[in-house]
């Protein structure tokens, strides 16, 4: 049995970016496992000022990571995907005990801190060990569209796995990827040549999956009422510019019954 391993920086990224892809793989009899990398439970008694502000924005839940793990596990159980949570901490909590490396929005959405340059190597070694004994493995790593440092670390992990001969597909971080220009910029900045692949998806299934991440909907989509249209519009628009030609956001013509897609990218050189 072949297996798809989705590297998900946070406890919702795989569903947001690859939910349709996972449903299609499962329907085809492929085993699906989501690996939530930065899913560790931090020491809530020792947080940076920035982390405390984030917690306040979330309404100061007593244990937000345990709650998000439970939410993610429940959502993925419904579709029969496996889940594996790693204990690495989200950027805002690193390193445990401080002094913290990412202390504001720009740092969190910026380059990998010099102290963490070796992090992708560590994660790639863990992935490599995990794949031993598995048959017909395909890894999925984010392109890091949007630029979150945890996504960059996961992307660079994917680059290392690719260089080591693993089969790796890179997915578009949603909903950041709805800003098409940023997808093009990330692809260009990598200095690789890329080939896109579209996967037709069950759009209703994806929307239902994403909706299960109740705690994240407002933060991710701005407003819960935008969840469905944001997902639907992007998935339909991919059919019109599958290779990002011109890097323009396509204007959707009135299609009677649009086909919905998710896009992944393979490195060709």
Q: Which residues lie near Zn ion (CB under 5 A)?
A: 9-10, 13
Least separation in angstroms between CB 150 and Zn ion: 6
From the CB of 258, what's the least distance to Zn ion, in Å? 27
DSSP 114: G
Neighbours of 220 (CB within 10 A): 19
**Given the complex with Zn ion, which of 10 and 155 has the nearer CB atom?**
10
CB nearer Zn ion, residue 149 or residue 161: 149
Q: Which is nearer to Zn ion, 9 or 258 (CB)?
A: 9
Closest CA to 34 of 50, 52, 22: 22
List b or e across 77-87, with b for residues whose CB sees 16 or more CB atoms inside 10 angstroms.
eebebebebee
| Nearest to Zn ion of 153, 168 (CB atom) | 153
Compute the least distance from the CB of residue 9 to Zn ion, in Å.
Answer: 4
Our CB check for Zn ion shows the closer of 10 and 21 to be 10
Return d(Cα 245, Cα 252) in angstroms, integer.
15
CB of 268 vs Zn ion, minimal distance in Å:
26
- Shortest Cβ 17–Zn ion spacing (Å): 9
Strands of the 261-267 sheet, one edge to the other: 82-85, 31-36, 3-8, 137-142, 168-171, 261-267, 194-200
Do 65 and 59 meet the contact criterion of CB atoms below 8 Å apart?
Answer: no
- Shortest Cβ contact with Zn ion: which residue? 10
């Amino acid at each position: 049995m072949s297996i798809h391993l989705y590297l998900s920086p946070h406890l919702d990224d795989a569903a947001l970016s690859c939910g349709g892809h996972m449903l299609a793989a499962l329907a085809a009899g492929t085993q699906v496992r989501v690996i939530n990398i930065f899913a560790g439970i931090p020491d809530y008694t020792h947080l940076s000022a920035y982390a405390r502000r984030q917690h306040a924005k979330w309404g100061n839940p007593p244990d937000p990571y345990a709650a998000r793990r439970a939410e993610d596990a429940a959502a993925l159980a419904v579709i029969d995907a496996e889940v594996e949570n790693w204990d690495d901490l989200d950027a805002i909590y690193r390193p445990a005990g401080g002094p913290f490396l990412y202390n504001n929005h720009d740092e969190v959405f910026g380059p990998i801190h010099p102290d963490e340059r070796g992090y992708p190597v560590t994660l790639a070694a863990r992935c490599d060990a995990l794949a031993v004994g598995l048959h017909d493995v395909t890894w999925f790593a984010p392109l890091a569209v949007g630029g979150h440092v945890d996504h960059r670390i996961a992307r660079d992990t994917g680059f290392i796995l690719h260089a080591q001969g693993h089969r790796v597909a890179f997915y578009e971080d949603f909903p950041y990827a709805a800003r098409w220009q940023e997808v093009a910029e990330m692809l260009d900045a990598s200095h690789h040549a890329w080939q896109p692949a579209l996967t037709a998806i069950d759009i209703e299934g994806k929307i239902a999956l994403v909706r299960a991440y109740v705690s994240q909907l407002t933060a991710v989509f701005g407003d819960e009422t935008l969840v469905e249209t944001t997902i639907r519009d992007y998935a339909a628009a991919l059919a019109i510019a599958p290779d990002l030609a011109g890097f323009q956001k396509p204007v959707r013509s009135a299609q009677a019954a649009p086909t919905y897609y998710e896009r992944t990218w393979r490195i060709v050189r």
